[in-house]
Amino acid sequence: MNRQMTAERNRRATVTTASGEREAAVMVAEGHKQAEILKAEGQKQADILKAEGERQAQALRAQGFAVALQTIAAEARNIDEKTMALQYLDALRDVGTSPSTKFVLPMELTGLMQQIASTMSANGTHTSTHESRPGSD
């Protein structure tokens, strides 16, 4: 009977130990699960905040471009033909100074030449061809 009581105590101790270990393992697993959930939620929140920041930055850049384009458009309304001709010549000069061996001919070459000629005649730098031609009596 003594042995039976000792065996019963040992069995209860083993059951109690196993139950404690099982509960500890479950609690550790629950802890890992909660930690992973919190980590995922934190990453999700960080991604959302990052995307929101990028969206706001893009919106601000777009607003800046819009203001710049409005300013350019406002200034472009005041440009006359002479200014455009000078800009065009300046662009052609820049293209001409490049070390390229290609030739760039504008599609509206005659229109450009007419603008340059009218600009030069308006400034008084163009002389009449009738005055310099000999024998035109």
Distances (CA, A) of 26 to 30, 38, 95, 119: 6, 18, 76, 91
φ/ψ of residue 100, rounded to 5: -75, 155
Residue pair 97/106 in contact by the 8 Å Cβ criterion: no
User: CB burial class (10 A; 0-12, 13-18, 19+) of residue 112?
Assistant: middle
Does the pLDDT value for residue 25 go beyond 90?
A: yes
Q: For 93-106, write each residue's pLDDT tens digit.
A: 777 777 766 666 66
Q: Which of 57-61, 92-96, 130-134 has the highest mean pLDDT?
A: 57-61
* Cα(11)–Cα(8) distance, integer angstroms: 5
